[in-house]
Amino acid sequence: MVRAPCCEKMGLKRGPWTPEEDEILVAYIQSYGHGNWRALPKQAGLLRCGKSCRLRWTNYLRPDIKRGNFTREEEDMIINLHEMLGNRWSAIAARLPGRTDNEIKNVWNTHLKKRADPNHTESKSKRRTKCKKKATKSVAPISAPASPTHSFSDDFSSSATDSSVVTGDNYNYNAALKEEKMESVEELPQLDDSFWSEALSIDNSVPTNDLTTFEGSLAAPISAYSASNDEMGYWLRIFMESGDLQDLPPL
């Protein structure tokens, strides 16, 4: 099948979003929702492709996004869930209200991978390139007023959306817990990706709306299939009984 490139049209803007673009996107979605991402930028008057709009909304502008440092509990949960689910960031994000798959992926790659796998020696230098191009500094998302169509969370405010809050090395790792996690990782059965592809193929049965609406994103969609899939339930039970997932919230 031949699929047209997302941003094939000339004149479509790329790169960091400006506050004006953010404002337009937020205002449009508040008024009309985002039923059709492809048509959205055109209707909203944005020179962006629908994909870019969707990414910007889901990863940055969505009002229920919790920004700022990950708590110790969140980090532990990510490690546990990663042991269970692998690189299924969207599934992991579904268990962490207010966190996006992209954010979790970044945190994993920059902090938690080392913590979970201290033998990891991957060097980023191999992908290092000269930084010649000048790009607009990424801007913090604008705050969104209460929407008539969505129930925005009460704690959403501009003060909690400064992306700079996320940066910096504020991770105070507990050495004892680190060792504990290392041990538990070794004890886990090694499962290849094909297993999870099969076991989690039911992911697709989760209604899309549950993941894209504010209410749905705050719920835990994983619960919808974990209880309805015997095989998945079996493996979940195995992991639970291994004792490594005790601190997970109930499904």
Q: Counting contacts by CB under 7 A, is residue 10 touching DNA?
A: no
Contact 211, 203 (CB under 8 A): no
Q: Counting contacts by CB under 7 A, is residue 75 touching DNA?
A: no
Toward DNA, which CB reaches closer, 88 or 181?
A: 88
Stretch that binds DNA, among 85-93, 152-160, 175-183, 236-244 (CB under 7 A): 85-93
Toward DNA, which CB reaches closer, 170 or 183?
A: 170
Cα distances (angstroms) measured from residue 131 to each of 16, 134, 167: 16, 8, 20
220 Cβ partners below 8 Å, 6+ apart? 94, 95, 249, 251
Mask of contacts with DNA, 161-200, x by CB under 7 A? Answer: --x--xxxx-x-----------------------------
Per rule CB under 7 A, count of chain residues that contact DNA? 65
Contact 101, 92 (CB under 8 A): yes
Q: Counting contacts by CB under 7 A, is residue 124 touching DNA?
A: yes
Helices vs strands, H then E, count in the chain: 13, 0
- CA end-to-end span of the chain, whole Å? 39
Q: Is 93 exposed, middle or buried (0-12, 13-18, 19+ CB in 10 A)?
A: buried
Where do the DSSP E strands lie in 145-247? Answer: none
Q: Counting contacts by CB under 7 A, is residue 7 touching DNA?
A: yes
Least distance from DNA to the Cβ atom of residue 142, Å: 12
Least distance from DNA to the Cβ atom of residue 243, Å: 25
Residue position matching structure tokens 């801007």: 139
Q: Counting contacts by CB under 7 A, is residue 212 touching DNA?
A: yes
Q: Report residue 7 CA to chain centroid gap.
A: 23
- Interface residue list for DNA (CB under 7 A): 1-7, 14-17, 35-39, 50-52, 54-56, 58-60, 87-91, 101-103, 105-107, 109-111, 123-125, 127-129, 131-138, 163, 166-169, 171, 201, 204-205, 208, 211-212
